[in-house]
Amino acid sequence: MDLAPHAVRPETSRGRLHPEAGADARSPFQRDRDRIIHATAFRRLQYKTQVFVYHEGDHFRTRLTHSIEVAQIARSVARLLALDEDLAEALALAHDLGHPPFGHAGEDALNAMMKPHGGFDHNAQSLKAVTLLETRYGGFDGLNLTWETLEGLAKHNGPLRRPAPYIAEYDALHPLDLGTHASAEAQVAAISDDIAYNNHDLDDGLRARLFTLEEVAALPLIGEALADARRANAGLAEDRAAPETIRRVINLMVGDVVAESRRRIAALAPAGVDDIRRAGHPVVGFSQAMAEANGVLRDFLFTRMYRHWRVNRTMAKSKRVVQVLFTLLHGGPQMLPPMWRARAGEAGSTHCAGVVCDYIAGMTDRYALEEHRRLTDPDVPG
């Protein structure tokens, strides 16, 4: 497929921090994607919470299944916009590598514990994972991804005026042009994240019976999609109505993003990717009407799902697990596994806090719960 003039082109990539010979017929962004898939941090996403902790059911989304869904949407949108699909897919697969256990509850707890030491930001942790924490190669730390992939990870939420400490440190040594927008491919990965999590959280909320399909049918988009599903499938069974509805909502959102992005790109008339970066606004996004409808859905999920008493109970317990782990290990780094103990330095120091934070952020839900038991229950062997 011919790429648009403003697409990122593999042959003009700014390259990797550590030069490597082209080993095979894959493009640089295909190699990035494959390295991400083989990363330890990627495999751990299987047991990291999206909303429901892993033991609450086998059919709820995890960070891994969420990332795969984001990648599927990103490839579709990138193809329709004549962008580099491989870069969009790599960014979609890598965007949550820095998420700690227990979803946003774990992130909130780590951020609170790290506040005296610079805080915690999962986008910065994703960058840290692929540039430092992964240890799969003999010649360098991290995955040695291309500049374009690192740029997209750092600027997942747009230009950074006040970057998190690790992003600022990395940028000072290896500039990522933090004050500009990311490539259109990175913007595709970001909007695909929004589409995926709102829709699959809706699906998981229905599956968990936190609300009913008839309740969400009152929301913009959902009612239209449900009515269309029932028109197209006479006598549609209730257990099939939700997936039929949700896939229609995803299609509506994807169609809106493609149409709106084409409109914005035509108005900008970019001659190359640098015109995308220097634009004063994202070129990939929802129309105003779709953004408003998506906001209503997000508000509904926030009230009825993320703040549901059942979810709140689990998240409160999860926060305490993270807080206890951090407190014990920061004050007693001698309890860390040998590799981490060697890095931790003095108990209670900011350096030690950063190492403990990295250790906890890499945990799965299951490992965090096991480590908590080992550190707090005298009957459990250390």
- Give the chain's residues under pLDDT 50: none
In contact, 51 and 311? CB cutoff 8 Å: yes
Distance, CA of 210 to CA of 202 (rounded, Å): 10
In contact, 166 and 200? CB cutoff 8 Å: no
Distance, CA of 131 to CA of 169 (rounded, Å): 12
Note the pLDDT of residue 25. Answer: 87
Measured at the CA of 191, the angle between CA 190 and CA 195, to 5 degrees, comes to 120
CATH topology for the 25-173 domain? Hypothetical protein af1432 (1.10.3210)
Distance, CA of 359 to CA of 101 (rounded, Å): 11
In contact, 100 and 322? CB cutoff 8 Å: yes
SS3 16: strand
Phi, psi for 160 (deg, rounded to 5): -115, 115
Q: 78 is written with which tokens?
A: 């990138």
Note the pLDDT of residue 305. Answer: 87
